[in-house]
Amino acid sequence: MADQIRREIATMKLIKHPTVVQLYEVMASKTKIFIVLEFVTGGELFDKIVNNGRMKEDEARKYFQQLIHAVDYCHSRGVFHRDLKPENLLLDASGNLKVSDFGLSALSQQVRDDGLLHTACGTPNYVAPEVLNDRGYDGATADLWSCGVILFVLLAGYLPFDDSNVMNLYKKISAAEFTCPPWLSFGAMKLIARILEPNPLKRITIAEILVDEWFKKGYKPPVFDEKEDTNLDDVEAVFKDSKEYLVTEKREETKPAPMNAFELISMSKGLNLENLFGVEQGYKKETRFTSRCPANEIINKIEQAVKPLGFDVHKKNYKMRLENSKAGRKGNLNVSTEVFQVAPSMHIVEVRKSKGDTLEFHKFYKNLSTCLEDVVWKTEDDMQTNEVETTL
C-alpha cells in the first residue's frame, strides 16, 4: 500500500483548490503516517441524494459547476481522479462541494508511451467504457464520463447504467444504453448525451462544457489565489523515515477497568452467588480485597510477593496470570488477578483460581495476603462483615 498512499498524499499536495479537500500537513512516527486534512462537516453528496431524492435543475447545476471547475483544475495539474462518484463528493458547512478520496488517482507521469493510462479502476456504475475495454484511456475524458453519470444521478435520482449482472452492466455502459427521465429540460438532456458519449474521441470536452448554455446559467467560477509551487520533499522524507519529519506518538496511559455500582452490588453475599464458592470444605475459588494504593503499586507488590512462592508472572495492563511451576494435587495452580477502579483513590483487586486445587488456592491466598499487609485495606470478609453490620 505504500506506493498508493504516497501517490495519494503527493496528489493532494498538488491540488490547492477551494472545491477539493485540502491537505495541510503530512508527518510520520516510526509506525504510522499522519495526514492532516481539512475538516469537512456536511457529509456526502450521496447521502443528500438518498435522503432527499432527485434535485431541481438549479441545485444540481450548482454542484455540477463546482465539480467541473475542480476536475478541470486537477487535470491542469496533471492529476486524474479516476473514482469520481457522489460518495467521494463531500459538502462543507455552507453546502459547497469538496472533492475527496484521491486513492485511485493517477498523475501525468504514469501515462505510458502511447499517451494513455492502462489501469482499470473505479466504481463500475461510474466507469467510462474505454476503461472497461482495457485498451488504454485518456484520464481526462474518463473523469468527464464519471461527471456525466453524477449529473444524471443528481437530476434523475437514480443511475443511468445499472444491472445486477456485471456483464450486462458493462454492455449497457459500452453502448451508452440509457434513457433520460421526461422531467429533464432539453438543455440538460442534450448536455448529458454529449458527456455520456461512448466514443471518447467524440465526447464533449470541459472547454466545450464551460460554454454550454445549460451549464453557463448562473455560473460564477470561484476566485482563489494560486499558491507557490508545491514542495514534495516532506512526502519523500516521510516515506524514507527522515528524522526531520518523524514525530513521537503520545501514548495514553492505560487505567484499570472501572467497576460500576451494579457490579459492586453483584458481589454482595446477600445475592448468594454460589458460583464464587468451591465445593471443597466451603473454600472459595475467588476472593477480593480493596486497596487505597495506586494501581501500578498494587501490581508491582503482587508480583514481588508471588515470585518467591514459585509463581511465574504474565502481565497485561492491570491483569495478571500467575502460574505455579510445581504441580499440585490437581496439576499446576494458575491464578488470575485483575485490578478494578471504583474511585480515583480506591481499587478492588480480584484474585481467582483459574486452574488447580481449591485448597491450594486458599493456602496461596493466605500467604499472599500476609505479604500484602501494607497494600490491603479491607478483605472480602471485612467488606461482608461491614455489610451485615450496616444491615442490622
Share of the chain above pLDDT 70, in %: 77
- Grid coordinates belonging to 182: 421526461
Query: Angle at the Cα of 244 (from 240 to 249), degrees rounded to 5?
Result: 90
Q: Which residue has the higher pLDDT, 131 or 110?
A: 131
Q: How confident is the model at residue 390 (pLDDT cuts 50, 70, 90)?
A: very low
Q: Which residue has the higher pLDDT, 213 or 244?
A: 213
Asked whether the beta carbons of 178 and 153 are under 8 A apart, the reply is no
- Does the structure show a pLDDT above 50 at 388? no
Catalytic residue numbers read 83
Q: Which residue has the higher pLDDT, 27 or 347?
A: 347
Distance CA 303, CA 319 (A): 11
Per-residue pLDDT of 146-182, as tens digits, reads 999 999 999 999 999 998 888 899 999 999 999 999 9
- The residues near 344 (Cβ < 8 Å, ≥ 6 apart) are none
What number of other Cβ atoms are within 10 A of residue 293's Cβ?
20
Largest CA distance in the chain: 94
Compute the average pLDDT of residues 319-343.
85
| Burial of 254 from C-beta contacts in 10 A (0-12 / 13-18 / 19+) | exposed
pLDDT on residue 276: 39
- Rounded to two decimals, the pTM is 0.60
- Does the structure show a pLDDT above 90 at 355? no
Q: Which residue has the higher pLDDT, 115 or 73?
A: 73
- The residues near 208 (Cβ < 8 Å, ≥ 6 apart) are 194
pLDDT on residue 80: 85
List beta partners, residue 26. 35
Q: Which residue has the higher pLDDT, 277 or 77?
A: 77
- Ordered by where they begin, the domains of the chain are 2-245 (1.10.510.10), 257-391 (3.30.310.80)
Compute the average pLDDT of residues 343-361.
86
pLDDT on residue 115: 53
Task: Give backbone dihedrals phi and psi of 390, rounded to 5 degrees, phi first.
Answer: -65, -40
- Grid coordinates belonging to 271: 445475592
Alpha carbon distances (Å) from 173 to 35, 37, 86, 204: 36, 35, 18, 17
Distance CA 193, CA 322 (A): 73
pLDDT on residue 329: 76
